[in-house]
Chain A
Amino acid sequence: MSKRTIIEKIFYNHSKEEIEPGGIIWINLDLVTARDFAGPNVVKNFNNYYKQKDLFNRSKTLFTFDLTVPPKTIQYANNQQICREFAREKGIKVFDIDQGIGTHTLIEKGLAHPGAIVVGTDSHMNILSAVNCFGQGMGDIDIAFGFRYGKTWFEVPETVKVLIKGNPKKYFSAKDLTLKILGVLKTDRALGKAIEFYGKTIEDLDISGRITLLSMITEMGGIVGFIPFTENTIMEIKKLNGLDGLPEEIRADENANYSEIIEIDVSDIEPMISMPPYPHNVKKISELEKRIKVDFGFIGSCTNGRIEDIEKVWEILRGKHIADGVRLAIVPSTKMVYRQVLERGMLNDLFNAGAIISNPGCGGCAQGHIGMTGKNEVMISTGNRNFPGKQGDGLNYLSSPEVVAYSVLNGFISSKEH
């Protein structure tokens, strides 16, 4: 039997065909989802091509609404209602506008689990690999086909092995580690590939940190990333989803075939920032040549919207107030996170520090409600993209929750030390 990487093993368990990098195979899907963007077109495609036909499996198809929640225009409200009516007709589940980011909800509910393949109309679907599940973002045609047949074609990607080396002396966050790696891989070294990460620094990340890093595989041009579980990862997943038992993590075979092995030394890591207009334009904050004034801070997104992220902001901001003329928006990723913010008493402190706190969802990343800039405005965001126009007309810098917190406190881009 040939030796397989993690993605090859997951594909092997879902396909009857031979698994060879570069080869195209058909795979069975464990869950097919759509959200409020693309969802209406999934419905349209389904009705145009498969009218009167059944879904492949009602318990394995669902909607998650997370982009404009509640809808900010009548058009978006109509689009969501198209999905709801289809869901009612077919008898499938909708995680509605109150629930927050779909991928995070799937992890919390245990719908994304180790070894599974889950697809959806979210380009950051690969976040699900935080629980060792292969998640793939897709367009509306792909998903309509998945709704009907529960399968899809896939070009088996090559796998790159990334060894994270060095013992960082200073404090750093998962986002700093993510940006450090992104700065090395940029968008070409892992383009179209799966990545397996190894090394103590990366394996020590908790689930929220893994979500941060693995969400940005998309910005590295990669398909999906995997980090081996530790005891702590397993306990965290159990605590999150409350399910009995835990399916075994998929691990690569020894001597599996990697297209490249890349070593990244992170011993000099410190607070990092991604400069507009590309996520991979990464710098150390200590290396910024001049002071960059900020107008708006954004905490949230599928990359940094967990309670652990908001807690760090709370620790920095409680008892203080953000700088004059600066705005700060905080968007918890899910209803569960929102409840934690409430129950741990953070809401009051964050409110008093001058923050705007909204209901859970994607926030400004897709021109949702919260976190848009006007021309000449400067945003510092925990999001994952800073392409022109992504979060408004202003310039957008990406960083960790800590850096956003210090920056809105000081009124310019800063970390604890700089």
Chain B
Amino acid sequence: MNEYIFKSRVWLITDDNGNLIPDVDTDQIFHNAHLYITDINEMWKYTFGNLEGWKDFPKKAENGDIIIAGKNFGSGSSRQQAVDCFKALGIKLIIAESFGAIYKRNAINSGFPIMISQNINDIMSQKKILNLQNISVDILKGELINLDTEEKINLTPFSKVQKDIYDKGILLNM
């Protein structure tokens, strides 16, 4: 049975000033020096390996964690590894203001949950979610609840194709 509600602690991918980092590209997520790797079980340790301030993320992340990131997350190359490394690390969901076009396809096609929230910057500036707080996200309703404060935030729910692929596990089962 597929999960539609995730409850977990959340990582805010921010810079030194506490702002969500925009335009995090695939070379910062999974550097091209490791592109020879085709085994997903090998990928986790290179996650954010080239993103200043986050290079130790693979050590800090725990199975089940959720990520909130800035705009145009995953811009750049078409490498599937930039999605698969999060899967390998046990990350359950990535929420961002927007995603790079190819990254968005790659995540949806591999059945990895991603969600868009156009007001993510307001959420951040009003400190509605703090790093490592616990949140609950309903991917079909598009509803995020901060479990520590009980505040509700709207996200764009899964599209039909996204849900269909998610239910089958991967595009290749369609």
Contact = CB atoms under 8 A, between A and B. Distances in A.
Interface string A333-352: 00000000000000000000
A390 B25 CA distance: 10
Interface residues of B, number: 38
A191 B98 contact: yes
B20 to A, nearest CB: 14
Given A73-B36, A387-B25, A138 B76 contact: no
A138 B110 contact: no
B102 A389 contact: no
Nearest to A224: B101
Interface string B14-53: 0000000011010110011101101000000000001010
Interface stretch (B61-69, B78-86, B120-128, B142-150): B78-86
Main secondary structure of the interface of B (DSSP, over half): loop
A79 B38 CA distance: 9
Interface string A100-140: 00000000000000000000011100000000000001111
Contacts of B32: 366-367, 390
Contacts, number: 106
A141 B77 contact: no
14 contacts: A37-B35, A73-B36, A121-B78, A122-B78, A138-B102, A138-B106, A142-B105, A145-B171, A145-B172, A187-B71, A188-B72, A218-B76, A387-B28, A389-B33
Given A153-B161, A223-B101, 15 more contacts: A24-B161, A40-B38, A73-B36, A123-B78, A138-B78, A138-B105, A139-B78, A141-B170, A145-B109, A145-B171, A155-B159, A187-B71, A367-B33, A385-B25, A385-B76
Interface of A: 24, 37-38, 40-41, 44-45, 48-50, 73, 75-76, 79, 121-123, 137-142, 144-145, 153, 155, 187-188, 191-192, 218, 221, 223, 278, 366-367, 385, 387-390
Interface of B: 22-23, 25, 27-28, 31-33, 35-36, 38, 50, 52, 71-72, 75-80, 83, 98, 100-102, 105-106, 109-110, 159-161, 170-174
